[in-house]
Structure 1
């Protein structure tokens, strides 16, 4: 069984024992999403740590988007709850790149690939996404690539 999935289960047990309602609910939601991913498709399979991490990133993004939607609709209490759940998930995700680090990484890839304009954006994005490896959202990466290629 993958280490990350075991860690999530162990942390869920600890949260239940300490009666931490927020962590318990959040970890149950993530483990349910992992289980759903495992049984989707033609046959059931066990997810690798990288695939579990992708599910975590997807769930964290959902929490972020929901918090923005609730805040925009004037529902501050629900927005705070979503942000708190996002905070729980953030503990399992790799640290996000700072803007300066992302800009330097994109500049390095542009230099290596010899990209000269927007027509090369796909090639640059592919190379940058490989190096970023989940440490920055795709929209942030695309915005930086676009800025540097323009």
Structure 2
């Protein structure tokens, strides 16, 4: 089932269940998806953005909310932080499961071997290989420092 279909089905289910917080977040996701589709449209017949682009959009939404949570906590606004964390939980329910530390290290080792990387100068090649194979399940922000350490940087 595509993410677009899941958004619609989950929105209907949340509306039936009377879960107003989930309904609100799902509506926000679908609105953002429409905006993303419109921005990416080249012709009126375009089907919209790909699943990978939807996942990237969801990751950006979750990251933005995580930053807001930190700011709300600094300002002692716990009720707003809790609302943002609830939104993050809904958004993350649509994201693929991330690789754990061991799996990430194995993927980095494989990418280093595949690219023949020998020094920190080859970091870009390794990151490109990781992104090509594991973009959906690998947190590139965590992978960067691990690749750097692996290459002796």
TM-score (norm 2): 0.87
Displacement of 1:135: 1.4
Deviating more after overlay: 134-143 vs 89-98? 134-143
Displacement of 1:43: 4.2
Q: Distance in 2 between matches of 1:134 and 1:101?
A: 14
Once the two structures are superposed, the pairs formed by residues 16-27 of structure 1 within 5 Å of their partners are 16-27=15-26
Q: Do the aligned partners of residues 136 and 77 (structure 1) sit closer, same or farther apart at CA in structure 2, a change above 3 Å counting?
A: farther
Structure 2 gaps, min length 5:
none
* Residue among 53, 78, 81 paired with 1:79: 81
Once the two structures are superposed, the pairs formed by residues 37-48 of structure 1 within 5 Å of their partners are 37-41=36-40, 42-44=42-44, 45=46, 46-48=48-50
Q: Aligned residue for 2:145?
A: 143
Q: Aligned residue for 2:29?
A: 30
Q: Distance in 2 between matches of 1:118 and 1:143?
A: 11
Displacement of 1:112: 2.1
Q: Which runs of 4 or more aligned residues in structure 1 lie more than 3 Å from their structure 2 counterparts after TM superposition?
A: 41-45
Displacement of 1:140: 0.6
Structure 1 gaps, min length 5:
none
Q: Aligned residue for 1:13?
A: 12
TM-score (norm 1): 0.89
Q: Distance in 1 between matches of 2:22 and 2:10?
A: 8
Q: Do the aligned partners of residues 99 and 52 (structure 1) sit closer, same or farther apart at CA in structure 2, a change above 3 Å counting?
A: same
Q: Aligned residue for 2:127?
A: 125
**Secondary structure of 2:65's match?**
helix
Displacement of 1:80: 1.6
Q: Distance in 2 between matches of 1:90 and 1:84?
A: 10
- Determine if contact 2:96/2:137 at 8 Å carries over to the other structure: yes
